[in-house]
Amino acid sequence: MKSYKTTFILLLFSSFMAMGQGRGDRIFDESFLHEIRISTARDLSALTNIFYEEWSAGEYTYTLASVVIDGNLLDSIGVRVKGGISSFDIKKPLKLDFNSFVSGQRYDGIKKLNLHQGNMDPSFIREAISYGLMRNAGVKTVRTSFANIYYNNEYQGVYTLVEQIDDNFIKDRFASNKGALYKTGQHGLELKYEEDNSLPYADFVSAVNQIPTNQLHEELEEYLDVESFLRFFVLQVFVNAVDGPLTVDYNYNIYYEPKSKTYVYIPWDYNLSLYGGANHPLFPSGGSLLNRTFNNTALRDRYLNIFCQLFDYNFDLDRLQNIITIYRTLLENDIPNDPYLEQIGDWEAGMEDVRNVITERYTTLLNELETQLNSCPPLEHALEDLDIVINEIVASNDVNSNITDPDGGSADWIELYNNTSEDVDLSQFYLSNDKDVLKHWRFPKGTILPAKDYLIIWADRDIDEEGIHSDFKLNKSQGELYLSFENGDIIDSLSYSDQETNIGLARVPNGKGPFIVQKTTFNTTNDLSTSNAQTIQKYEYKLFPNPIQVGDDLNILCTTNDLIQVQFSSLNGSRIWQGELNSNDGIITLPTSNLELQPGMYHIELLNKRIKNRDHRILIVH
């Protein structure tokens, strides 16, 4: 459990390191409180009246505005009031549309941004915690962060920034965004967009209803991502969602993924989660399909085993209480200044209530689970450092490489290598190109990586083709790759800059060494003769000790003896120190003892100009 908690903290505070590598990485950085200043000719009352006039039709007008986000100015963006019951609060929820008046305009790669005021949530953190629990469980869901919001220079208080579920969100989470996205609401099912969908939702419901209950475990996978479906409802139960599928049967999205030909449930709207009142039991009543699922012995057992595993690492009380403490530290200086705090409620009491609800849910549901299962299947791996590695990648593969997938396509590829003398079952392992979504793609059940052998994963989203294909692609210009286990342990990872077409980024010596750029060695050893090797870049930096104590210097272990440009910053981007340091026998000493640092987390950027290699690391100071 200890290794997982460390992983969580690093993930929570490390999205700034990506430097905009992925869509939304900057705006959904939770390590600091963002600032958004909206300026427009209409006051909030006028904006609210427009929203109410258009509410019944469901077609909304955006008002022309400019916005400054963390010091970055965007002109000609759209702003409107949003929400349902929450729109009647004195503190208004808002939506920004960067694309509304200037086609193709984006901020941090995103088209729209939701500003949630936390209706009926005096803690201000319920949505962030609930969505975080879902991401950690592998449920396809949105990211969040926090911001101070100003409207025409008037402070509106602290808001939760919530990612928009649109075609870009779908593209970033699924193999294809060419399917159909539905949103459930008070007025029924709304089709948000549809492209190549071949199974309308009504036909999906009809087909599933015709499957006998005792055959659901055999046939349901044809129509539904069953693993995701079960995890979705495990989380609904644990977060005690009051306003969702277990109570009102709306406030969630459903996506038809055309390559897998299955439907997937996507969570939405959790200001009324972790809230006393619903008290969902272990087996809730949640509509025909869920009830029939629980009546199928195999699916019922699968649901219980998922619950059991999530108790092992995701619902851990120490971990969750630590998350609350982190959010409290982030918000405590600004919440007292929120102009609507008196109407919202007692923040201290709200935070304490969330702590109590989490403890109550954990205790109650664990007791119920123990009456259903004698024991949980073990959630563990015996892997040590470098047992299984990301051994080689090609982030730009074309026909000239003569390396093709089983269907003849020139897909980018990832090679894993098993350094151990035992076969390893990868069924509970994941690959991801995004640290914020570690559980992006799960290895197919029964995937075995033999001892001292290689495994090729085609990174092309073509999950419907022969072979092993991930549901994401590799970015040629820069990117990251993570191999992780179900409990969040990162087994191996890689960060890279611009890649050359048909050239590999490979560990040399094979399976053990640092990454270098060389000729591809597809599905075989990376150890080339000196005459054939094209060593261009090396990518290994390690900080030690990490954490350091206030007043200590930091050492950086390098795999090159070069002049390294170092930039040392706070996580909100404020530069603390910059300079060039020589690597002496592969070690750089950063004079952090002279910087009067406070305890916290810091960002380090390392640039080797000779080999054009840039890397990023996080330092923890105690």
pLDDT given at position 537: 47
**Confidence label for 488 from pLDDT (cuts 50, 70 and 90):** very high
**Among 170-174, 361-365, 561-565, where is mean pLDDT lowest?**
561-565
User: For residue 371, is pLDDT > 50?
Assistant: yes
Residues 181, 268 contacting (CB under 8 angstroms):
no
DSSP run (H or E) holding 581: strand 575-582
Q: What is the pLDDT of residues 564-588, one digit of tens each?
A: 888 888 766 677 888 888 876 678 8
Q: Phi first, then psi: what are they for 418, rounded to 5°?
A: -100, 105
User: For residue 614, is pLDDT > 50?
Assistant: yes
User: For residue 1, is pLDDT > 60?
Assistant: no
**Confidence label for 535 from pLDDT (cuts 50, 70 and 90):** very low
Top pLDDT among 397 and 531 is at 397
Parallel, antiparallel, or unpaired: how do β-strands 563-570 and 554-558 relate? unpaired
Residues 359, 324 contacting (CB under 8 angstroms):
no
**Among 95-99, 272-276, 386-390, 394-398, where is mean pLDDT lowest?**
272-276
**Confidence label for 558 from pLDDT (cuts 50, 70 and 90):** confident
Average pLDDT, integer, range 44-58: 91
Residues 418, 483 contacting (CB under 8 angstroms):
no
User: To 10 degrees, what angle do helices 2-12 and 317-331 make?
Assistant: 30
Q: What is the pLDDT of residues 310-355, one digit of tens each?
A: 999 999 999 999 999 999 999 999 999 999 999 999 999 999 999 9
Whole-angstrom Cα Rg for the chain: 25
Structure tokens at 583: 């690597």
Residues 156, 91 contacting (CB under 8 angstroms):
yes
Residues 606, 556 contacting (CB under 8 angstroms):
yes
Q: Rounded to an integer, what distance in angstroms lies between the CA atom of residue 264 and that of residue 521?
A: 37
Average pLDDT, integer, range 21-37: 92
**Confidence label for 276 from pLDDT (cuts 50, 70 and 90):** confident
Partners of residue 185 on adjacent β-strands:
188
Top pLDDT among 537 and 287 is at 287
**Confidence label for 10 from pLDDT (cuts 50, 70 and 90):** very low
pLDDT given at position 15: 35
pLDDT given at position 566: 87
Q: What is the pLDDT of residues 420-429, one digit of tens each?
A: 999 999 999 9
**Confidence label for 56 from pLDDT (cuts 50, 70 and 90):** confident
User: For residue 359, is pLDDT > 80?
Assistant: yes
Q: In Å, how far are 138, 189, 448, 460, 488 from 445, measured between CA atoms?
A: 15, 33, 9, 19, 18
pLDDT given at position 540: 63
Q: Which of 123, 104, 115, 181 is nearest to 148 (CA)?
A: 115
Mean confidence (pLDDT) of the chain? 90
SS3 assignment, position 593: helix
Q: What is the pLDDT of residues 115-152, one digit of tens each?
A: 999 999 999 999 999 999 999 999 999 999 999 999 99
Which residues, including other chains, have CB under 8 Å from residue 298's CB and lie 6 or more apart? 217
User: For residue 182, is pLDDT > 90?
Assistant: yes
User: To 10 degrees, what angle do helices 297-313 and 347-372 make?
Assistant: 130
